Amino acid sequence: MLEALKKNPKFTPRRGPVVLCILDGVGFGKYADGDAVLAAHTPELDKLMKECPMTRLKAHGTAVGMPSDDDMGNSEVGHNAIGCGRVFSQGAKLVEEAVETGKLFEGEVWKKLVANVKEHNSTLHFLGLFSDGNVHSNISHLKAMVLEAKKEGVKRVRIHALLDGRDVPETSALDYVDPFEAFLADINKEGFDYRIASGGGRMVVTMDRYNANWDMVRKGWEVHVHGNGDLYKTAHEAIEDLRKKTGAIDQDLPPFVISDDGKTPVGAMKDHDSVIYFNFRGDRSLEITKAFEADKLDEFDRGFRPDVMYAGMMEYDGDLHAPKLYLVNPPEIDRTMDEYLCATGVNQFAVSETQKYGHVTYFFNGNRSDKFDDKLDNYMEIRSDVVPFEQRPWMKSAEITDAVIEAIESGKFRMIRLNFPNGDMVGHTGSMDAVLVAMGALDLCVARIAEAVRKAGGVLVISADHGNADDMYEHDKKGNLKLDKNGAPARKTSHSLNPVPCIVYDPASKGEYSDELKTGLGISSLAATCIELLGYEAPEGYDPSVLNFK
């Protein structure tokens, strides 16, 4: 158990709670064209930014533990950084280092997977997100593993490609599939049998999270494991045909299966095969992992369950020890804000809807599923609608707001944290009109929370985990707007590299700190900021808060 936090002699806590409001995917755009945050009608946010102490925080690249500042941030690493007050090397960086040094291939798990298929003359399968978005996976890691498999004499490899179009341009699938098919063709010239076997859009198959829609996982199981689905001779043919039939962008393309004869799938999984799920991020990895590993599964009927050796790229949940086998150790995040506040006896409340519930709990707590204290930690999940987010861009913002206001008015909680998913989840759809509605809905909710905080005599800290809604259109390197084939602005569905706001609304301020907040910091500074506003000193080693005490 950690020691209790020391009181901050420079600050007397307010009568009401500290409320940390995370506007997921809301940043400061680099370009006016496509900045839905700037374009939206948000009178409350505009007012708060104008009248309150405010600064900009870094939310991407090395500031959140990614390999370089060319790497976008994401909700996982963002909430890790916010919750623990420091920066840890994250999945992308850890896997990159393990691949480059060869440590991954020297590990016991890799050796077991390879030995299994060589002993049984079976197949090594790779399943995961097929892009270089570096948020959930990186195709370079897959390529390195395929080359190592060849080097070690694995004769048969099958790849199950989840199409991205979310962390990369929305119709870029063939930019990854075609070169990879050529890469495999070169390997096959040397007497190997390496193929893409199945695929589908990441928002249709396999990559569900937080138990929001297990039918996605069922569809993935059917195509990847059983080889049941629409049959095509190549992934290229499948993608082109499904685009014509559906008009969908990559993330929403239906599943497909590869077959040479139009009858038999080339990559159905069988007993004694080895399977690597090569995504390194946990939230969209746990359900498919459970489908492979659980002895009993209630969520759907798996039918034939082949006896395979399954491993993940990383351990996706340290409490659940899922998966049982993994290739790279995850970051060991300790001393989180939640744990310190529990050690200090501070009652806390965390709330979001399903899509981001795990972010204000699991990721915020350093990838920990369990509570630190059952009495002091209070969590609420509001079930998300299972519809395309552009159809209901307000999502559950009103319900989250209701829960937060009730928590504020109850007087039970000193620290409240919430996540509004709209800017990110609707931003990923690429629909500018929908994001404008989403931002308008958020603004109404922020106004309600700010008023509740004012009445309770509390403090409201508004920030974000990364940008998205602020960058809805593609631009070239010179900053010029890109156009699609119809002459319309080319839609962007990925996160941005832009900074995010940090607004401190403290209506009961007695002038203990300057109106000028510190600059040049990252979102990891939010933990120390909240701790100081609660009347405590930030723990040793935490990144500095944004507050300049007088």
Find out whether 167 is annotated in a ligand binding site: yes
**At residue 520, what is the residue type?**
G
Instruction: List b or e across 86-109, with b for residues whose CB sees 16 or more CB atoms inside 10 angstroms.
Output: bbbebbbbbbbebbeeeebbebeb
Closest CA to 98 of 368, 331, 363, 310: 331
Would you give the end-to-end CA distance of the chain in angstroms? 33
Find out whether 24 is annotated in a ligand binding site: yes
Find out whether 301 is annotated in a ligand binding site: no
Helices (H), 360-501: 397-410, 422-425, 432-456
Q: Answer whether 195's CB lies under 8 Å from 159's CB.
A: yes
Find out whether 60 is annotated in a ligand binding site: no
Residue 323, preceding peptide bond in cis (omega within 30° of 0): yes
Find out whether 14 is annotated in a ligand binding site: no
Report d(CA 494, CA 509) in Å as an integer: 38
For the question of residue 431 being annotated catalytic, the response is no
Find out whether 140 is annotated in a ligand binding site: no
Sheet with 156-163, strands from edge to edge, namely 231-232, 256-258, 193-201, 156-163, 124-129, 274-277, 309-314, 326-328
75, 274, 285, 352: the active-site residue: 75
Report d(CA 340, CA 344) in Å as an integer: 6
Find out whether 281 is annotated in a ligand binding site: yes
Find out whether 136 is annotated in a ligand binding site: yes
Find out whether 424 is annotated in a ligand binding site: yes
Could you count the other beta carbons within 10 Å of the beta carbon of residue 143?
Answer: 15
Find out whether 290 is annotated in a ligand binding site: no
Biggest distance spanned by C-alpha atoms of the chain? 77
DSSP state, 430?
A: T
Report d(CA 444, CA 5) in Å as an integer: 35
Closest CA to 148 of 93, 192, 90, 91: 192
Find out whether 71 is annotated in a ligand binding site: no
Q: Which residues are annotated as a binding site for Mn(2+)?
A: 24, 75, 424, 428, 465-466, 495
- Active centre residues (catalytic): 75
Q: Which residues are annotated as a binding site for substrate?
A: 136, 166-167, 202, 209, 281-284, 356
